[in-house]
Structures are given as structure tokens and as C-alpha cells.
């Protein structure tokens, strides 16, 4: 874990209530998520790293409360304090050759960085993204350009398959030896119970420190209490007590 200032290079609305935040600095770009200080708010906000290259990191966030709404007001050029190198992310090595990535909403963000890693390892990657409506879609072109197979579902049917990601999965019947999922808890629970074989899911919890020492985000797992921020946020399917 290190703390340093980044400069906001871009902070732009890219989908319904969804912003792309690009931070420039000389960070390690290591770790699953970063913890951002938002002026006027006491606690930091954890955001998954969506992409990282050439000293820049790209994050996607949704305006869900006062903190993220305040974040939208920070213009390019603003310095922002970042804690980085946080969290245990997806295990790309767990996949032997054919990966299935299933995202709900902004769960697509951390899966994009994972997809890049899997492709760099020469693996076959199938991606299924689900959103409520077409106005919320993010990363569609990026995933299409990167992956071997791509499917989309929207709840209202405004794009792709009408329904949940599980409906798209049933229609697609993808081949895979390992799956990865990120999104709302109910969606990940449905995905983990539908999909056979080994896989992992990225959980979310209200965090304090984000670095494993306040124990504010500890959840019960099959293996005992685990800190979402430090022992996770990614956990093996069989560890999670839904």
C-alpha cells in the first residue's frame, strides 16, 4: 500500500449516472482497487481499477451518494490523494485456457483489466455483460475488441438479450474452464449457482481503512471471517456464504 497524489486527467459522464475517471501519476498500478480521498468527505471511496497503463489509471464510478456526486465536480487538473496497491484481485492463473467473465453493471470495470491479463496469457475469453438499460452500457466496444466471444443482456431489452445475464448465459452456453464475476450480490449469487465448475466473485462492502487493519468490512466466509478489502474483494465461489 502506498499513498500519493494523482492528477485528474479526465472526469467525464460516459453513461447514465456513470463517470470515467482517468488519473495520471507515477503509481504502481498494482492492486485491485484504489481508495480515493474526496475533499469534504471523511472516509475515502474505494473504486476498482478498470485499466492501467503508461502511468495512467482508468476508473469507472456511478453516482450513488453524496461522495461520488462530489467527485463528479472535480475538474481535470485537480490533485487527488490515492491509496493504491489494495486488495486481492482475480486470479488469472486459475484459468487453464478458456475463461468466462460475467459482469452486472459497473462490475464490468475490474473484469476489463482481468480480460487484458487473460488475453496476454493467450487464453480464450468470453464476456457476458448485463445492464438495466442501454443508457447504462459501458465498455462494450472495448470488450468486443479484446475478447473472443461477447454477449450482452439488458433488463428492459433495449440492447442485446432481454433479461438477466443468466438468461444470456443460458442462451450462449459458453465453453469455459473457469469463470469470474463481478456485479450486484444477487446477480453474482445467481451466476455462481447457475454456472458449474470453479470460479470466483468480487464482493463489495462498506469499508473503513481499505487496507486490512480496521476490520470494518469483515464478512463471514466458509473459511471464517475475512476482510473484503484485504483478503478479497475477490473470493472463490465456494468460500462465499450468500
Chain contacts with another protein (rule: CB under 8 A)? 1-3, 37, 41-44, 67, 83, 205-209, 211-220, 225, 230
Q: How far is the CB of 223 from another protein (least distance, A)?
A: 12
Cα dihedral 184, 48, 202, 139, rounded to 10, equals 60
Closest CA to 183 of 22, 62, 44: 62
Which residue number, 3 or 162, has a Cβ lying nearer to another protein? 3
Compute the distance between CA of residue 62 and CA of residue 230 in angstroms, rounded to an integer: 23
**Could you tell me the smallest distance in angstroms from the CB atom of residue 43 to another protein?**
5
Cα 202 from Cα 180, distance rounded (Å): 8
Beta carbon of residue 207, minimum distance to another protein (angstroms, whole number): 6
Nearer to another protein, 53 or 215 (CB): 215
185 vs 194 by CB, closer to another protein? 185
Are the CB atoms for 41 and 21 separated by under 8 Å?
no
Distance between alpha carbon 195 and the CA centroid of its chain, in Å? 19
The nearest distance, CB 69 to another protein, in angstroms, is: 13
Return the number of the residue (98 or 230) whose C-beta is nearest another protein. Answer: 230
* Cell 472535480 -> residue: 74
Amino acid at each position: 500500500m502506498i499513498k500519493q497524489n494523482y492528477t485528474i486527467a479526465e472526469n467525464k459522464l460516459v453513461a447514465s449516472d456513470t463517470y470515467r475517471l482517468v488519473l495520471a501519476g507515477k503509481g504502481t498500478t498494482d492492486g485491485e482497487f484504489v481508495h480515493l480521498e474526496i475533499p469534504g468527505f471523511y472516509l475515502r471511496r474505494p473504486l476498482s481499477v478498470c485499466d492501467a497503463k503508461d502511468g495512467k489509471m482508468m476508473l469507472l464510478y456511478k453516482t450513488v451518494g453524496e461522495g461520488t456526486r462530489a467527485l463528479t465536480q472535480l475538474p481535470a487538473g485537480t490533485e487527488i490523494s490515492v491509496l493504491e496497491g489494495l486488495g486481492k484481485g482475480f486470479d488469472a492463473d486459475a484459468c487453464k485456457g478458456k475463461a468466462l467473465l460475467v459482469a452486472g453493471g459497473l462490475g464490468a470495470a475490474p473484469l476489463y483489466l482481468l480480460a487484458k491479463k487473460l488475453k496476454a496469457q493467450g487464453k480464450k475469453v468470453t464476456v457476458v455483460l448485463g445492464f438495466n438499460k442501454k443508457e447504462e452500457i459501458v465498455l462494450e466496444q472495448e470488450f468486443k475488441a479484446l475478447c473472443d466471444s461477447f454477449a450482452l443482456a439488458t433488463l428492459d431489452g433495449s440492447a442485446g438479450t432481454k433479461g438477466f445475464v443468466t438468461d444470456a448465459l443460458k442462451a450462449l452456453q459458453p465453453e469455459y474452464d473457469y469463470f469470474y464475476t463481478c456485479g450486484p450480490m444477487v446477480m453474482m449469487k445467481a451466476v455462481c449457482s447457475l454456472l458449474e465448475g470453479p470460479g470466483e466473485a468480487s464482493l463489495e462492502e462498506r469499508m473503513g481503512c481499505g487496507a486490512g487493519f480496521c476490520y470494518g468490512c469483515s464478512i463471514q466466509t466458509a473459511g471464517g471471517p475475512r476482510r473484503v478489502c484485504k483478503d478479497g474483494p475477490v473470493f472463490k465461489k465456494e468460500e462465499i456464504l450468500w
